Amino acid sequence: MAIQYLKRAAKTSATGEDETRQIVADMLAEIERDGESAARAYGVKLDDWDGDIEVGSDAIEAAARQVPDQLKDDLKFAHDRVRGFAERQRASIGEFEAELSPGLWAGQRLIPVQTAGCYVPGGRYAHVASAIMSITTAKVAGVENVIACSAPSQAHGGIHPAILYTMDMCGADHILALGGVQGIAAMAFGLFTGRKANILVGPGNRFVAEAKRLLFGRVGIDLFAGPTEILIIADGSADPAIVANDLVGQAEHGPDSPAWLVTTDHGLAEKVMARMPGLIAALPEVQRNAAEAAWRDYGEVVLCDSAEEAAAASDEYAPEHLELQTTTDSWYVERLTNYGSLFVGEETTVAFGDKCSGTNHILPTKGAGHYTGGLSVHKFIKIVTTQRMTKEANEEVAAVTARISRLEGMEGHARTGDVRLAKYFPGKNFDLSP
């Protein structure tokens, strides 16, 4: 029997893309043309903020005074684990040089990018964890200059104090009170700081994600990170209350945040679906409205006949966050290949990874898990190659290069080998035809 959709989404991740693309393209063009004045104007229009854009030390100190000691301890807890994980990632790669044949050495060097732009969402929620994930990871990678930005508000007199404190704690070198497309554009074009970002990282809404996509190529980006996603694979052993709560926990991110359940047990599916309306209704208003729309328009429940079918369905989704709540979790761990981050067993959940357990929460969405993982120190480091060789090694390498080049019709390439053979081995005849 083919898989059954007990609940099918009314919308997909592509819904509204054309409109979003045009809005963002127009904004980027205007900000690039008119510079800081245009970015400021969008800050006034979209965030109702006409204060300072580059945040100074006085504002940072004032923010720190507003952050309770318990929250400071919690932020340090999260920072320590994210930094520790990133340090182990950094230690897992290294530089080397190896002699591939007599007299020919090739190697790699690890060079951090000079400037990273870290976007920290600050609209509906105060995403302090996103500041930790992006800025900390960049600093562990060795990035010299980190620019961070987040949306300000009149209510907070600028950036949310906890976000501002966290940005500074993690080592941001410049902080901009700009959100949305204007924040992304300011970092990419070097506005207010005079330093153009080499790479843009961080999650955001569909406008932020589209701005990064349109700028990709001119700058690097971490990945295509649109609205957050969760998929749970569960069997009859799973606790329907925990499964439903985990789905709602991600749906509250926004009205376009997909929440998917893939299960081999019809009874579990029915129990989970029955719980969803009540759990959503019990949320505060802002979160309730977001989760209600997300579950209505993007939620799906897929019933499968077998674990193989469930794994195949999950791999097709390539979800950002993937939870396993089955009696055969280890089998799924070995079988699954497409996801951003995997949460194995009932004892862990997406929120743990999102906030403080150590792995990075900036992850691929919209199917990007088919070809990339999430943010890591590797994204901030250029792995570049080197080579050197002796004159004696040219006898073989230059001759092979010349023959292959002539086969390809690239005579100029061939002659760069010829000239070295003539210099290093005068009087010696070489067969340099293909």
User: Which residues are catalytically annotated?
Assistant: 320-321
CB-based contact 154:49 (threshold 8 Å): yes
Cβ atoms within 10 A of the Cβ of 306, count?
11
Tokens at residue 300, please?
Answer: 């799906």
Using DSSP's 3-state secondary structure scheme, residue 294 falls into helix
Positive or negative, the CA dihedral 230, 16, 220, 38 is: negative
Of 109, 112, 120, nearest to 143 by C-alpha is: 112
Q: How far apart are CA 44 and CA 57, in angstroms?
A: 23
Length, in residues, of the chain: 434
Q: How far apart are CA 372 and CA 340, in angstroms?
A: 8
Tokens at residue 269, please?
Answer: 């599916």
At position 203, the amino acid (one-letter code) is P
Q: At what angle do helices 17-34 and 36-47 cross, to 10 degrees?
A: 130
Would strands 145-149 and 152-153 be described as parallel, antiparallel, or unpaired? unpaired
CB-based contact 32:185 (threshold 8 Å): yes
Of 93, 95, 134, nearest to 116 by C-alpha is: 134
CB-based contact 207:234 (threshold 8 Å): no
Using DSSP's 3-state secondary structure scheme, residue 332 falls into helix
Q: How far apart are CA 248 and CA 291, in angstroms?
A: 6
Q: How far apart are CA 207 and CA 211, in angstroms?
A: 6
